[in-house]
Amino acid sequence: MAIGGAKLLVTTESLHRRKISAIRDSLPQLEHILLVSEEGGAADHPDTHDFHRLIREASDHFTIGPTDPEDPALLHFTSGTTGTPKGAIHVHEAVVAHHMTGKLALDLHPNDLFWCTADPGWVTGTSYGIIAPLTNGVTSLIDEAEFDAERWYGILQDQKVTVWYTAPTAIRMMMKTGLEPLRKYDFSTLRFLASVGEPLNPEVVVWGERAFGLPFHDNWWQTETGGIMIANFAALEIRPGSMGRPLPGIEAAIVRKTEDGSVEVIEEPGVQGELALRPGWPSMFRGYWNEPERYRKCFVGGWYLTGDLAKREKDGTFWFVGRADDVIKTSGHLIGPFEVESILMEHPAVAEAGVIGKPDPVAMEVVKAFVSLKVGHEPTEAVRRELLAFARTRLGAAVAPKEIDFRPSLPRTRSGKIMRRLLKAQELGLPIGDTSTLEGSES
């Protein structure tokens, strides 16, 4: 609210009590607070307005003001995995992308019962929990309670969900409890599963088939892109671990920066570089809020540079490597944390892994992994040695972790992304920086 200069806040009584009242004086630009009573009665708090009373007193007639497709409509903030969240400005025309990608990437049909588990406050929750199902005429399910695996299984069964869009973190938490709890539920209405938030490890895709009889379809996009750009379509054979292929109308490439500051497209398949998109799709962000220079630097040589490293195979399939900020440089190798995390998750004891580069006087950095174990496995020295050997066998000595620490859980943003920078700061005793989007944070 402070960064965005919010003037009006719409919230509930309980959220106002827990999160707003204590910081109200630090938000001088906030002129109005509109309270929605959960019980439907009057909301009586000083310096606030009662939503239900204002609605009762309002006129039955309202003329919508004229808007242009390029007028700002939404300000979405990034998840803060690499620093202070950035405000991405989206325009009214973005709805075209939300509508079509709901059809093409999530396979929405009018008779579906759709469940997007993302918080409506995040770009996924707004774009695909609200806008895409509404414009496609799809019945949409909203659940406000915190994650609980068995309650989620009950919702899938009882509400007869057909299309389910969730996050890798939630799936990995389900994996942690094993397959046994699923056996008493009926998932026969499910026909399409998709995931977003961070890359979907191959083991998670495979587990989806064992658990629900269907694979999870990964897709890739960003707060900045406003909508899904690359996806494993319903009609495509899934290659576990891949991002999929660009949606119709989206031109994607792998590029490298040249000495003169420009970029060149890498035509050879399988070569790592930065993922770039040709600007012009309807939901492309039109700026970073109050950071015009930062926005300008995102566009070079007719491409939007995403900051993600990836590879493109000969058949046009894209594979995620890692955020450019997260890449580990060790003994002449450039290593994406996602590759190491995915291999560790193939071990039957591992539920989740986060990988960082730890400074080393000889190798520049060494790979260190933080691991959360599945239920029934204990964090013993024997398990640590077993995981180190497993990773070395699968990845080779240069890429495999040199150190492994166990954690009950890993720090994540509330949108489900592992905060590797927080793991690194804690490991090195550095300032942890902005944690406003940390899961469980009240700030």
Residue 137's CB is within 10 A of a number of other CB atoms, namely 11
Residue 157's CB is within 10 A of a number of other CB atoms, namely 16
CA 138, 141, 147, 149 dihedral sign is negative
DSSP 8-state code for residue 16:
I
Length of the chain, in residues: 443
Please tell me whether residue 220 adopts helix, strand or coil conformation: strand
Domain residue spans of the chain: 8-57, 72-323, 327-410
* Banded model confidence at residue 442, pLDDT cuts 50, 70, 90: very low
Contact call for residues 345 and 339 (beta carbons, < 8 A): no
Q: Which fold has domain 72-323?
A: Rossmann fold (3.40.50)
Over residues 181-193, the mean pLDDT reads: 95
Over residues 130-148, the mean pLDDT reads: 92
Contact call for residues 231 and 223 (beta carbons, < 8 A): no
Residues 6+ apart with CB under 8 A from 59: none
Total-model pTM:
0.77
26, two tokens? 């630090």
Q: Which of 333, 287, 339 is nearest to 311 (CA)?
A: 339
Q: Which of 112, 166, 101 is nearest to 140 (CA)?
A: 112
* Banded model confidence at residue 335, pLDDT cuts 50, 70, 90: confident
Q: State percent of the chain over pLDDT 70.
A: 92
What is residue 443's predicted lDDT score, i.e. its pLDDT?
41
Q: Which residues face 72 on adjacent strands?
A: 91
Q: What angle do CA 344, 346, 347 make, to 5 degrees?
A: 75
CATH number of 327-410: 3.30.300.30
Is residue 47 predicted with pLDDT exceeding 60?
yes
CA 272 to each of CA 20, 231, 257, 268: distance values in angstroms, whole numbers, following the listed order? 45, 19, 12, 10
Give the integer Cα–Cα distance in Å for 73 and 383: 51
